[in-house]
Chains A and B, each alone.
Chain A
């Protein structure tokens, strides 16, 4: 039981990252129909930006020379926050320069997101090298910073990460429901042409959607960097799990994508823990299996059929 509880706790950190990526992916997809395959790489870039901020003016880290006015190393929470802001700007810029000229044509758009996937990867390898970098966690990580629940350790770090992610996603949902900008976003998700006709600046809202999605992914990248190390390929696994989780929500429901993220992380930890022949690498394949089965059995994800039909028509 203790071990089981421990594994449940362990899955929270990964689950938060999967959920954040899944929410970002489904947010972009439902509003614009663009499947952003570069979402994971954008989050990885964000983790590197956080490394730069946290390093201060370290000649061993590329671009840190640009920070000369703020040369002292930033605290990690500030570095992550800075990375989130820069990520949002990068997301908006990429939407404006790369995605918008494709005009929603599916083949070129997917091609463009894959181009970004390669471009960000090669950019990072070029400037930061292929080796691992270390970025601590913004939360206390001493070996005494934990609760003991039923004999299992729940680290403050895990709690902080999970709560931050949930708070960010919750804030996003709140903004969508209560503010005018959120209303505009929901309007273009529902019907893009009509939204334009009633005076919503669709292009601005879409750009904002990309920025927010990139910021969310960036937050996930910056926070999970305390768990994983910062590597150019750190997000590959996360992207696959994020895509799978987004699929559970039919690529259209951020709430289900969020649940799907935690569910997949939970299942992943359990598989790796209890099924002998599955080691932690192969759980990725298991995620792929889940994807195939879910799509085959319930193509709309966990949405009800009616909701799915409604969603697909828009």
Chain B
């Protein structure tokens, strides 16, 4: 009912019957091509099921059988080799980078870690729920604003301030989601883009034109052995700890029944409703959680940066976030994995740094300079990623028809 306005995907009817949310696998909908099957990443069957365009696709019943067999073994719960390798690499970097890097660079990397959470929220929204948000930059700003004022005005311990950001993000996300989710998907993009444009103006009205500084410091406890003027190392580990816990919780949520139900609301909303999922409520919860993650990240941004300002969250940030979400984390690059938020955040934070280190690139005149400018790179990325994605969706549709 909620989605009666959208044309049905061709060849989607049989999926109604094979969708049993608690036991059967994620359905092979058109967009299900982008889902890694949880818990079975390393098995050859799973590798096959990630490419549904292959002719040798097994029936859903066979797959359900295979899953109930393999779900018994501990091995099947193990993440794929690529994911393990990436996690080990990230863990190594988290230990090594702070000890080697300059404090400026480390501040960038701390922000990078926080942006991973924003991308996780966007990834959940875009790739798991099939919804669009062009306002996550603004939601991050909302989180930063709430966290800062929770500490400055209400005396919240700075250590807990990201929670205030999370709450504010959830609330604003719900506010945008309540009207938009009853309508075609384009409305959420419309509302979030409006929010992204409006946010810097609101913030200037609320906080004034000058930056507001956080009344709090992050001093490393003595047991860490971090020198007093090296507090950025402590700040980095603090942020990474928050991010790691949030990712762990999110991953747990998404590999369970809730995650499967979310995917079902994306591919087969009618079927999901038939199986007792309240599509609107689940989507609202998803949008709220996604916004909350952005808000949490906003709270974390204050740990390395210590102030909030209208210029930090312009609407271009929201568009860049959206661009990188489309490019990374779909099957185009690296498959639909939560871990792909890390390279996305890396590009977001380090691309400007890298460009500034190449003065010839930035100041070059004529068309060459145009082609090398940051916004052009993002525009090209968006267009290419969108094109690649539509090509893939078409291939899947043709195969299913």
Contacts and interface: CB of A to CB of B under 8 A. Distances in A.
B284 to A, nearest CB: 12
Contact of B375 (A107, A118, A293, A296): A118
A282 B183 CA distance: 27
Given A122-B370, A247-B190, A106 B323 contact: no
B178 interface: yes
B185 A115 contact: no
Contacts of A237: 197
Contacts of B375: 118-119, 121-122
Interface in A92-108: 98, 101-103, 105-108
Interface residues of B, number: 54
Contacts of B180: 295
A256 interface: no
Contacts of A37: 134, 189-190, 193
B386 A251 contact: no
Given A285-B198, A299-B182, A312-B5, A118 B378 contact: yes
B394 A111 contact: no
Interface in B169-205: 175-176, 178-180, 182-187, 189-191, 193-195, 197-198, 201-202, 204-205
A105 B389 contact: yes
Contact of A292 (B175, B369, B380): B175
Interface string B294-324: 0000000000000000000001100100110
A312 B186 contact: no
Interface string A234-247: 00110110011001
A114 interface: yes
Contact of B382 (A112, A236, A312): A112
Given A37-B189, A295-B179, A126 B370 contact: yes
A122 B379 contact: yes
Contacts of A312: 4-5, 184
A180 B181 CA distance: 37
Contact of B194 (A110, A111, A240, A281): A240
Contacts of A282: 201-202, 205
A71 interface: no
Given A292-B191, A295-B191, A101 B134 contact: no
A114 B370 CA distance: 18
Given A102-B387, A112-B382, A122-B379, A296 B178 contact: yes
Contacts of A291: 190-191, 194
A114 B134 contact: yes
A287 B193 CA distance: 13
A299 B382 contact: no
A109 interface: yes
Given A107-B130, A111-B326, A292-B175, A244 B194 contact: yes
B348 to A, nearest CB: 14
A306 interface: no
Given A106-B185, A282-B202, A236 B197 contact: yes
A160 to B, nearest CB: 29
Contact of B187 (A236, A239, A285, A295): A295
Contact of B179 (A35, A105, A299): A299
Nearest to A193: B7
20 contacts: A33-B184, A33-B186, A35-B186, A35-B190, A37-B189, A101-B387, A102-B386, A107-B130, A108-B386, A109-B390, A111-B383, A112-B382, A118-B316, A118-B323, A118-B375, A126-B369, A282-B201, A288-B195, A291-B194, A293-B179
Interface of B: 4-5, 126, 130, 132, 134, 175-176, 178-180, 182-187, 189-191, 193-195, 197-198, 201-202, 204-205, 315-316, 319, 322-323, 326, 369-370, 373, 375-376, 378-383, 385-387, 389-391, 393-394
